[in-house]
């Protein structure tokens, strides 16, 4: 994979935002485009990154009005960028070390593309398994059977949503299925 460059796999059509855009407007754009983040630019130069996680943590969770909060108020900056000539391995290392999922690609200081973890795993599928193993490492094992958990989610027996899942034999089961 040493011969694969970021320029070979990057997305050239990048949805961007401006610093003075409202979060309300940007959230609608992100929802319509079905994307989890976008690059913030000023005169073609990358000045920030905004993700749905930023919107949830900095606007919704703090009961701020999305029509009044500006992108510049919550975007992450400065932003790590890469050149199109960057090796895929170097991009992976940057993403891993900075715990980020997207890297803007620049040439001559201007945004020309974007590469995401998903783009990389399309080219190098072994990374997908590594990503899954990393995610699994963040979860601790469930308590022993019979312990009352206040877990919400989908029942592993009937598939219905429940706010009162309980671990039974290593499976999360709703009250109806436990009876």
pLDDT for position 14: 93
Contact by Cβ (8 Å): 10, 84: yes
pLDDT for position 177: 87
Beta-strand relationship, 37-42 and 16-17: parallel
d(CA 14, CA 129): 27
Does 138 have pLDDT greater than 50? no
Q: What is the mean predicted confidence (pLDDT) over 82-110?
A: 92
- Spatial strand order of the sheet with 45-51 comes to 16-17, 37-42, 45-51
pLDDT for position 176: 84
Phi/psi of residue 121, each to 5°? -70, -20
Tokens matching residue 115: 């590469």
pLDDT for position 130: 53
pLDDT for position 3: 78
Instruction: Name residues whose C-beta falls within 8 Å of residue 2's C-beta, 6 or more positions apart in sequence.
Output: 87, 89
- H-helix or E-strand spanning residue 167: strand 161-168
């Amino acid at each position: 994979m040493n011969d694969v460059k970021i320029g070979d796999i990057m997305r050239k059509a990048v949805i961007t935002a401006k610093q003075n855009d409202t979060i309300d407007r940007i959230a609608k754009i992100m929802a319509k485009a079905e994307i989890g983040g976008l690059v913030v630019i000023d005169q073609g130069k990358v000045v920030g990154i905004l993700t749905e996680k930023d919107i949830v943590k900095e606007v919704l969770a703090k009961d701020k009005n999305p029509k009044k909060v500006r992108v510049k108020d919550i975007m992450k900056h400065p932003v790590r960028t890469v050149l199109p000539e960057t090796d895929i391995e170097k991009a992976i290392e940057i993403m891993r070390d900075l715990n980020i999922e997207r890297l803007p690609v620049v040439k001559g200081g201007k945004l020309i593309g974007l590469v995401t973890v998903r783009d990389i795993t399309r080219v190098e599928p072994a990374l997908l398994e590594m990503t899954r193993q990393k995610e699994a490492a963040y979860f601790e094992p469930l308590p022993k059977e019979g312990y009352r958990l206040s877990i919400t989610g989908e029942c592993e027996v009937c598939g219905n949503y429940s706010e009162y899942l309980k671990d039974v034999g290593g499976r999360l089961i709703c009250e109806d299925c436990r009876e």
